[in-house]
Amino acid sequence: MNANADVAVEEAVIVIRRVFDAPRSAVWRAITEPKHVMHWFGGTAFTNMACDMDVRPGGLWRHVMRAPDGTEITCDFVYLEVDVPKRLVWKNSDGGQSGRPASVTTVTLDENGGRTEWKLVARFNSIADRDQAVGMGFSETISAGFDQLDALLKTL
């Protein structure tokens, strides 16, 4: 399994790539059917208590889990795009009211020789909102200043 993740703090975008040794149809089911999602979401440290998914645009994903410190966490998401079995887009349905920044998460699955290439892109808050509003990709909003800020963050 290959794994890499990069965090572009200044862009408020996170990209996480993986390659799974499984066909795309299996990965798709693993991320869209609660009976499967319960087995992996959050990793071993989190306990999944409830998962309801209505996988269609406008449908809700309500997830309840217990964090390592015992805190019960309820996540409410709404699906924005569902393109079986290759693309799934969702966002926080509470618009960040939970105290966590609102994000739009896009998972793209590409099948390659029986393996599945996973790419997750999370865009946070106003940047994502603005992109949606003007209907263009995030890259078009990027301008100067990133490199320095990246260096700056490393010094904090």
Partner 1 sequence: MPDLLSTTLSALADPTRRGILARLATGDATVTELAEPYAMSLAAVSKHLRVLESAGLISRGREAQWRPCHLEGAPLKAVSDWLDDYRRFWDRSLDQLADYLKTMPRDEPT
Is 47 an interacting residue with respect to partner 1 (CB under 8 A)? no
Least distance between partner 1 and beta carbon 82 (Å): 14
- Whole-number CA gyration radius for the chain: 17
Q: Which H, E and C letters describe 4-47, residue by residue?
A: EEEEEHHHCEEEEEEEECCCHHHHHHHHHCHHHHCCCCCCCCCE
Least distance between partner 1 and beta carbon 80 (Å): 18
Element of type H or E holding 126:
helix 125-134
Residues that bind partner 1 (CB under 8 A): 1, 3, 5, 7, 9-10, 12, 14, 16, 18, 20-23, 26-27, 29-31, 33, 36, 39-46, 96, 99-103, 118, 120, 122, 124-127, 130, 141-146, 148-149, 151-153, 155-156
